[in-house]
Each structure stands twice: as C-alpha cells, then as structure tokens.
Amino acid sequence: MLRHGTADLTDAWVAFSAREAWLNGLNIPEMQGSPWGHDAKRKRKLLLHGHQIEQLKRAVEREG
C-alpha cells in the first residue's frame, strides 16, 4: 500500500527507547484481497544506525 501512495502520515510520530526508534501512528491500510491482515496503525521499528538515532534524539531535545 505504500507503493500505491495510500499511507497516512498525518498522526505519525517517533518515540525513542533503549537505543531504538519506533514509528507510531502511521496508517498503512490493508490491501484488498490480501490473505493476511495486519493492524493498520501498529508501531513499527525504524531501521537506523545507532549514531543516526542519537542524532535524531539530540535534534528533538534541542528543537522540541
């Protein structure tokens, strides 16, 4: 559904915990006719390097 451009970033935000970054509130709807379902708004782990997570964390603390 990301390729179709139907994801909704309106309420999305990132949370940091234990050197990990988690994306919350991103809405990725289910594909029609898909045999497997999923929770459209579940939290997703962002695949980033440790130094990237620290950079983002510092930027959020500095800028709010």
Comparing 9 with 3, the larger pLDDT belongs to 9
Beta bridge partners of 23: 14, 44
pLDDT given at position 50? 95
pLDDT digits (tens, 9 = 90+) for 4-20: 677 888 889 999 998 99
pLDDT given at position 46? 95
Helices (H), the chain: 50-63
pLDDT given at position 1? 57
pLDDT digits (tens, 9 = 90+) for 9-57: 888 999 999 899 999 999 887 777 667 777 778 899 999 999 999 999 9
Residue 46 is given by DSSP the state E
Domain residue limits, the chain: 13-63
Q: State the Cα–Cα distance between residues 25 and 12, nearest whole angstrom.
A: 4
